[in-house]
Amino acid sequence: MLIEDYDIEFGTPDCQHPSCDELFAKVAVKADITELLPYVNAVIRKGEFTTDVPVLVWVHGGHKYALRPHEVAVSSLDGREKGLEEVRRTIEWLNDIWDRRDELTPDHSAREKPRILDVYKLLPRTNCKECGLPSCMGFAGELVAGNKSLEDCAPLLEEMNDEARRKLLEMGL
Ligand code: SF4
Report the CATH number that the domain containing residue 95 is assigned in CATH.
Answer: 3.30.310
- Express each pLDDT in 47-64 by its tens digit: 788 888 899 988 777 788
Nearest CA to ligand 1 atom 8: 136
Asked if residue 62 is part of any domain, the answer here is: yes
Q: Are 125 and 51 in the same domain?
A: no
Please state the domain count of the chain. Answer: 2
Q: Are 81 and 124 in the same domain?
A: no
- Express each pLDDT in 141-153 by its tens digit: 988 877 788 888 9
Asked if 28 and 71 count as a contact pair (C-beta separation under 8 A), the reply is yes
Task: Give me the pLDDT at residue 163, please.
Answer: 94
Q: How far is CA 150 from the centre of its chain?
A: 10
Task: Give the span between the Cα atoms of 150 and 152, in whole angstroms.
Answer: 5
Q: Which domain holds residue 163?
A: 116-170
Pocket test for ligand 1, best of 127, 148, 161 (most atoms within 8 A of CB): 127
Average pLDDT over residues 87-95: 97
Task: Give me the pLDDT at residue 10, please.
Answer: 93
Average pLDDT over residues 157-161: 93
Asked if residue 109 is part of any domain, the answer here is: no
Q: Are 21 and 85 in the same domain?
A: yes
The finding on whether 124 has its CB within 6 A of some atom of ligand 1 is yes
Taken in order 78, 81, 82, 84, the sign of the CA dihedral is: positive
Task: Give the span between the Cα atoms of 19 and 156, in whole angstroms.
Answer: 9
Q: Are 82 and 157 in the same domain?
A: no
The finding on whether 51 has its CB within 6 A of some atom of ligand 1 is no
Q: Are 130 and 72 in the same domain?
A: no
Closest ligand 1 atom number to CA of residue 124: 3
State pTM to two decimals.
Answer: 0.64
Task: Give the span between the Cα atoms of 4 and 88, in whole angstroms.
Answer: 11
List the one residue out of 103, 25, 69, 131 whose CA is nearest residue 56: 69
Q: Are 78 and 158 in the same domain?
A: no
Q: Are 58 and 143 in the same domain?
A: no
